[in-house]
Amino acid sequence: MGNRVKFAAGKLCEFLLTALLVSFFTFAAFSIIPGDAARVMLGTTATEEQVEHLRTELGLNEPLAQRYVSWLTSAMRGDFGKSLAFSEPVSELISSRLPVTLGMSLIALIIVIVVSFPFAAVCSRRPGKFTDRALSAAGHILFAIPPFALSMMLIILFTRVFGIVAVGQYARPSDDFGKFLSCLILPAFCIALPKIAMTFKFLRASMIEYSASDFARTSKSHGLTDFMILIKHIIPNSAVSSITVISLVLSDIMGGSLIVEQVFNLPGLGRLLLAAISRRDFPLLSGIVFYLALMTVVLYFMSDMIAALIDPRIRDRRTS
């Protein structure tokens, strides 16, 4: 029990410190850009009075440390300020677009897990055979295709060739949840395909390594079939490394969804981020970047905790 508490407390301190550093660098990145941020937001046609009024509204005349403390205090309450382009609170804009990005990311993650685990298990049993070589080659091809190019190819394939998917017909989850999910499936599939290749390659190598271990050979000498060895020993021992790679894949999926949302015309965080960049809306831009970075930190923290729960040796090594 003592090791568990010490491990959890240590990881929590690491999480808080990382989140604090992420918040500082996010705020500082948009505060120390060259030139006058207020004039960049308003454009070259703005008068000096308008620029000075915006500088006062954003607190740009105050020292950086004071502005950061004020921004962080408000951010901890969920207040990231007001969007200059949309004239709405940043937190409300993010929360209204979040279901699209999260829904698409979760669907993509499910596709990655459902496809990559069975394929990796099949290839790890007979490495170097035709199936293994074919799936590995397909994985390399998919991994090399950029998400936006893959999105365009699948849009043409499913809309113009088969005519079974209507792109751009978005429905809010509160209006029609079934249609909301259906309009996310194809974009999620576009995001998932390259990640399937990456996850498959990692899991295949991990399973092949454990298949050649002493405990696998001992289990086989005791009469267990290859399938039973896979279920009872190889997959459980691969669980820790699998959790790590899945957390990396999920954070990568959320980053990749920003581009795919624009291609499929979905009102998610990706389109909101591009709108903030094009309109020089720094309060909205810093809020979105901080939110995405914080979610990545949370994912890594959760993966560390789950891995330590599955394999006590991890927390024992960290607390010894």
Burial of 77: CB neighbours in 10 Å, binned 0-12, 13-18, 19+: exposed
For residue 314, the model assigns a pLDDT of 61
**CA–CA dist 123, 237 (Å, integer):** 17
Residues 6+ apart with CB under 8 A from 232: 219, 224
For residue 1, the model assigns a pLDDT of 53
Ordered alpha helix ranges (H), the chain: 2-29, 37-42, 48-58, 64-76, 90-125, 130-144, 147-155, 177-211, 214-221, 226-229, 235-237, 239-263, 269-278, 282-310, 312-319
Q: How many CB atoms lie within 10 A of CB 206?
A: 21
DSSP assignments along 163-184, one per residue: ----TT----TTT-HHHHHHHH
Domains and CATH numbers, the chain: 1-85+279-320 (no CATH), 98-278 (1.10.3720.10)
**CA–CA dist 118, 238 (Å, integer):** 13
Q: Residue 89 in 3-state DSSP?
A: strand
CA angle centred on 70, ends 68 and 71, rounded to 5°:
65
- Residue 36 Ramachandran class (φ > 0 left, ψ -120 to 50 alpha, else beta): beta
DSSP type of residue 46: -
Nearest Cα residue to 247 out of 295, 309, 317: 295
Q: Which two tokens stand for residue 184?
A: 């996310």
C-beta of residue 125 within 8 angstroms of C-beta of residue 211: yes
pLDDT tens for the chain, residues 1 to 320: 566 777 777 878 888 888 888 888 877 776 666 656 677 667 677 777 877 787 777 777 777 788 888 888 888 888 888 887 787 888 888 888 888 888 888 888 888 888 888 888 788 777 778 887 888 888 778 777 777 777 778 777 777 666 665 565 677 777 777 777 778 888 888 888 888 888 888 888 877 777 767 766 777 777 777 677 777 767 777 767 777 778 878 877 777 677 788 778 888 888 888 888 777 777 888 888 888 888 888 888 887 777 777 766 665 555 55
82 forms beta bridges with 89
